[in-house]
Amino acid sequence: MQKLYFIGILAILFISRTGAQEQDITSSLYDTYDNYKEAILGERRIKYQDLQPLIEKYRANPKFKVNTVGTSIEGRTLSLISIGQGDTDVFLWSQMHGDEPTATQAIFDILNFLDSEDFTSEKNDILNKLTLHFLPMLNPDGAERFQRRNILGIDINRDAVRLQSPEGRTLKKVRDSLDADFGFNLHDQSRYYNAERTEKPATISYLAPPYNYEKEINESRGNAMKIIVFMNSIIQKYAPGQVGRYSDDFEPRAFGDNIQKWGTSTILIESGGYPEDIEKQEIRKLNYVSIMSAIYTIANKNYTAIPIAAYEEIPHNDRKLFDLKIEGVRYQLHGNYYVLDIGIQRPEVDLKEHNGFWNSSRIIDQGDLSTYYGFENLNAEDYTIVPGKVYPKTIGTIEDLKNLDPYDILSQGYTAIRISDFKKEDVFSPIPINLIAEKYIQTDFQLKPGVNPTFLLRKNGKIEKAVINGFLIDLNDKASSNFKNAMIYR
């Protein structure tokens, strides 16, 4: 362990001493990011049609070359955008999984940067030495539905051997035709990953995929490791402690592992979670900065002397994060009181058109959760869980709720309101109280994994807080809540 620590210090000293120019451009890239952020790609649920005006803009731009390299099962074109005239080919592909769009957005930020008149000398360095190739959306059919798999129902990232999907065949064809020197395999991962043994989310996770079961390191994979060490140093500046290292178990069906085996130095980037960044816009910015910095160091070959062993210093990914962790709350069951920690997550449910979402939260675990962490934490040692009641008056429609003060209703001990006339399009409650149909029979309250977390928290005989659909609401400080929606039960 001391040896690895020493190697890590050497790597930091190397990067700080010989990479000063890269650090300078990194700071400038971060500070000027808003100049290049592609404004029309503002939220995660981007679709094929959102990208087409941008792709056509670059097709008409003589700096770029845009080729149609394939089509999806449903006939959507797969476009490759290239720029540069260098001998070293760098291939970046994104959204192999349709619900993983963070790097797709960052790619168009990068393209805006490359098209600008700024950073002339640095871009000359890059574009005279490298040719950059971007395939921004490999799975447009999945993106249309905001789902991981393609319309065939397969995971394209497990199709590198059988090559049954046209999207997978396109990726293989492009990689082979370029014989790319470097590859960036761009993904999103769950926001519930953390850097091992810390409360920090794994905002960015890296992997130099193995090319065999023995996890051997040849020159190609070693170069990927060195670049990851450099990129880690960049992220640490803006999200300290928030980098993880993805599992390097060999997966013979996966594209990353095979592209590494085929001779392309492959860097997997997984965009995870960041506090108060549900739409991953800060993570998008970190992708932009770290990828552009990596491209710059590839052009200048400053990564070559970084110690490979420093790669092992990056902590592993773990999965021990909740959206909300309640610590040490009192819970009464059959006349006895128990002390519990409660871990809550807020899974997203897509709207019908896959252009937005609502949350349907769940208790994931309870008991002793001292080795787990939360994006939001409540020390509840002075609180007791109180089951909520149904409001005594039935309301006509959701629109009629505007005449009620939900916080006053919560403070009276009510967590549900009956509605006599739901509309078909009503799928969630817009106020921090669950809504139920007139004939809906509410079951007895029981705290257990899998149930929707809705209850009240009493302190010194007074209800001071509420948990409604997994969102913590302070009844004395309404502005502090990050509430999005409650539930509807018909």
DSSP codes joined into one string, 34-73: GGT--TT--SS---HHHHHHHHHHHHT-TT-EEEEEEE-T
Instruction: Give the C-alpha separation, 234 to 15, whole Å.
Output: 10
User: Nearest-CA neighbor of 170 among 253, 254, 70?
Assistant: 70
Distance of CA 223 to CAs 7, 10, 264, 280, 316, Å? 17, 17, 10, 28, 20
- Determine the pLDDT at residue 13: 47
Handedness of CA 10, 287, 273, 256 (dihedral sign): negative
Quote the tokens at residue 70.
């394939």
Superfamily (CATH) of domain 2-318: Zn peptidases (3.40.630.10)
- Determine the pLDDT at residue 109: 98
Q: How far is CA 226 from the centre of its chain?
A: 24
Helices (H) and strands (E) in the chain, counts: 11, 24
Q: Which residues pair with 183 in a beta bridge?
A: 91, 266
User: For residues 112 and 33, is the Cβ–Cβ distance under 8 A?
Assistant: no
Distance of CA 27 to CAs 14, 34, 255, 292, 297, Å? 18, 13, 33, 11, 14
pLDDT in tens, the chain (490 residues): 444 444 444 444 455 544 555 667 899 999 999 999 999 999 999 999 999 999 999 999 999 999 999 999 999 999 999 999 999 999 999 999 999 999 999 999 999 999 999 999 999 999 999 999 999 999 999 999 999 999 999 999 999 999 999 999 999 999 999 999 999 999 999 999 999 999 999 999 999 999 999 999 999 999 999 999 999 999 999 999 999 999 999 999 999 999 999 999 999 999 999 999 999 999 999 999 999 999 999 999 999 999 999 999 999 999 999 999 999 999 999 999 999 999 999 999 999 999 999 999 999 999 999 999 999 999 999 999 999 999 999 999 999 999 999 999 999 999 999 999 999 999 999 999 999 999 999 889 999 999 999 999 999 999 999 999 999 999 999 888 899 999 999 9
Chain position carrying tokens 């290292």: 245
Distance of CA 7 to CAs 221, 226, 230, 413, Å? 19, 13, 14, 58
User: For residues 417 and 438, is the Cβ–Cβ distance under 8 A?
Assistant: no
User: Nearest-CA neighbor of 429 among 475, 471, 388?
Assistant: 471
Output phi, psi for 315, to 5 deg.
-65, 150
Please classify residue 108 by burial: count the beta carbons closer than 10 Å to its beta carbon, then call 0-12 exposed, 13-18 middle and 19+ buried.
buried
Strand segments, DSSP code E, in 85-140 are: 88-94, 130-135
Please state at what angle helix 20-31 crosses helix 219-238, rounded to 10 degrees. Answer: 50
Residues of the chain with CATH 3.40.630.10: 2-318
